[in-house]
Amino acid sequence: MIVLGIETTCDETAAAVVQRSDEGRGKILSNIVLSQTSEHAAFGGVVPEIAARAHVEALDHVIAKAMSDAGLGFADIDGVAAASGPGLIGGVIVGLTTAKAIALVSEKPLIAVNHLEAHALTARLTDGTPFPYCLFLASGGHTQIVAVRGIGDYTRLGTTLDDAIGEAFDKTAKLLGLGYPGGPQVEKEAEGGDATRFTLPRPMQGRPDAMFSLSGLKTALRLEAEKIAPLTDQDVKDLCASFQQAVVDVVADRLRTGLRMFREKFGTPTSLVAAGGVAANQALRKVLHRLALEAGTVLVAPPPALCTDNGAMIAWAGAERLALGLVDTLETPPRARWPLQDVKPHAVPPPAILPRRD
C-alpha cells in the first residue's frame, strides 16, 4: 500500500510517499520538507498569513518532487492523505484542498489525517512499535501525554494549561535575542551555561495529575534577565541552561505521573514514545530514557527529522487508516481545532468517496 502524504498545518510545506507492507512495516520512498523558517524569522514566530501564502506557492513543487523522488505517478499510489488539522487554518485549507483535487482527478481515496495522530503513529513507521504505548508529544503548539491503544483510540492523560513546551523555548529565545525557532538555539547556548545560577520555579511539580503549566516559568526567566540586564554572552548561556534544566525537571515530574496513570489504567506500555520538535532536545531525551527505564519500558525516539513536522508521518498515518478501510469523503472540512481524543476510527464505505461529475 503506497500513500502520498501532505503536511501544511504550520510553517513546513511537506510531502512524502510512504509504503506500508501487509505485515505493517513502513518504508519511506520520498520525504520532502520545505521549511519557511527564514520567512518568519524576522517576526520571532509563525505569521499565519505569510505561512498560508508560502504553502500556496510551494506545495505543487514539493508534491512533484516527492512523487519524482519516489519514481511514481499518481496512478501508482493507493491513497492521498492530508493533515486536515489541527493547525493554522489557511495552511490546512491549502493542503487539504490540494489532496482533494489529486484524489478526485486520480480517483484515489482521500484520508483526512489528524496532525497529532500522525505524530503519535510515527514510532510505528520508524520502529514498528506495538500498541499500547505512552506518547509524549512536545512541539511548538502541543504538550500532551497520551495513551495510544490503537488507531483512533487515544486517551489524553495530560496537557498544558497555557504555553506549549516548544512555545516556551521559542519565547525564551526571543526574550534573549536568539533566533527562531528558539528550541535549538536555547539548547546550544545551554551547553556552555551554568544551570544552577538562576533559581527558576518548577510549575505543577508534585501535583497528582499530569498537567503542565509553562507560562510562569517564562515570566520568572524574564524577571531574572531584567534584574541583571544588560546581558553578557555568559548571562545568556546561564539563563538558557537554567531554563532548560527547569523544563527537564518539570517534564520528568509530570511524565512520571503520566506513566503511573497509564500503568494504573492500561497496564505497562510497550514503550514511551517521544514525538514533536522538542523531542530533538538531547537533555530532554536523556531524561525520557531514564523515565522509560524507571517505568519498566523502553524509550522510542524517532530520528529528529521525523519528530519535527514532515509529510512522511502524514502519509504513514494515512496508510495505517487506509489499511483498516478508514477513508474520508471529499466533504471533509479543514479544522483549526481537532483534539486527538476526538479522532475516531470511523469507516466510510468506499463507493461514497468519489463523487464523479459527468
We find the least distance from the C-beta atom of residue 276 to Zn ion, in angstroms, to be 6
Task: Specify the residue, 46 or 70, whose C-beta has the smaller distance to ligand KG4.
Answer: 46
**Rounded Cα–Cα distance for residues 214 and 165 (Å):** 7
**Rounded Cα–Cα distance for residues 1 and 104 (Å):** 19
Segment near Zn ion (CB under 5 A); pick from 19-27, 136-144, 236-244, 347-355: 136-144
We find the least distance from the C-beta atom of residue 17 to ligand KG4, in angstroms, to be 20
Backbone angles phi, psi at 84, to 5 degrees: -100, 10
Please state the separation of Cα 164 from the chain's center in Å. Answer: 12
Task: Specify the residue, 132 or 183, whose C-beta has the smaller distance to ligand KG4.
Answer: 183
We find the least distance from the C-beta atom of residue 350 to Zn ion, in angstroms, to be 30
Task: Specify the residue, 308 or 332, whose C-beta has the smaller distance to ligand KG4.
Answer: 308
Residue count of the chain: 358
Task: Specify the residue, 304 or 329, whose C-beta has the smaller distance to ligand KG4.
Answer: 304
We find the least distance from the C-beta atom of residue 139 to ligand KG4, in angstroms, to be 3
**Rounded Cα–Cα distance for residues 14 and 43 (Å):** 22
114 binds, among Zn ion, ligand KG4, none (CB under 5 to 8 A by kind): none
Beta-bridge mates of residue 89: none
Q: Binding Zn ion by CB under 5 A: which of 139, 257, 281, 332?
A: 139
Q: 289: exposed, middle or buried (C-beta count within 10 Å: 0-12, 13-18, 19+)? A: middle
- The answer to whether 83 and 313 are in contact (CB under 8 A) is no
**Rounded Cα–Cα distance for residues 202 and 184 (Å):** 21
Catalog residues that contact ligand KG4 under the rule CB under 6 A: 10, 139-141, 166, 169-170, 181-184, 187, 276-278, 280-281, 308-309
Q: Binding Zn ion by CB under 5 A: which of 238, 309, 320, 328?
A: 309
Beta-bridge mates of residue 33: 14
DSSP class of residue 271?
-
Q: Say which residues have a Cβ less than 8 Å from residue 223's Cβ, sequence separation at least 6.
A: none
We find the least distance from the C-beta atom of residue 83 to Zn ion, in angstroms, to be 9
3-state secondary structure of 279: helix
Task: Specify the residue, 225 or 240, whose C-beta has the smaller distance to ligand KG4.
Answer: 240
Find the DSSP H helices in 267-309.
Answer: 282-294, 304-307
We find the least distance from the C-beta atom of residue 264 to ligand KG4, in angstroms, to be 29
C-alpha cell at position 187? 539548547
Segment near Zn ion (CB under 5 A); pick from 14-22, 42-50, 133-141, 221-229: 133-141
- The answer to whether 190 and 286 are in contact (CB under 8 A) is no
**Rounded Cα–Cα distance for residues 173 and 45 (Å):** 11
The secondary element (H helix, E strand) that includes residue 46 is none
Task: Specify the residue, 45 or 216, whose C-beta has the smaller distance to Zn ion.
Answer: 45
280 binds, among ligand KG4, Zn ion, none (CB under 5 to 8 A by kind): ligand KG4
59 binds, among Zn ion, ligand KG4, none (CB under 5 to 8 A by kind): none
We find the least distance from the C-beta atom of residue 306 to ligand KG4, in angstroms, to be 10
Task: Specify the residue, 117 or 309, whose C-beta has the smaller distance to ligand KG4.
Answer: 309
320 binds, among ligand KG4, Zn ion, none (CB under 5 to 8 A by kind): none
Site size for Zn ion (CB under 5 A)? 2
The secondary element (H helix, E strand) that includes residue 94 is helix 89-106
We find the least distance from the C-beta atom of residue 315 to ligand KG4, in angstroms, to be 16
Task: Specify the residue, 113 or 278, whose C-beta has the smaller distance to ligand KG4.
Answer: 278
Cα dihedral 44, 49, 50, 56 sign: positive
Q: Footprint of Zn ion on this chain (CB under 5 A)? A: 139, 309
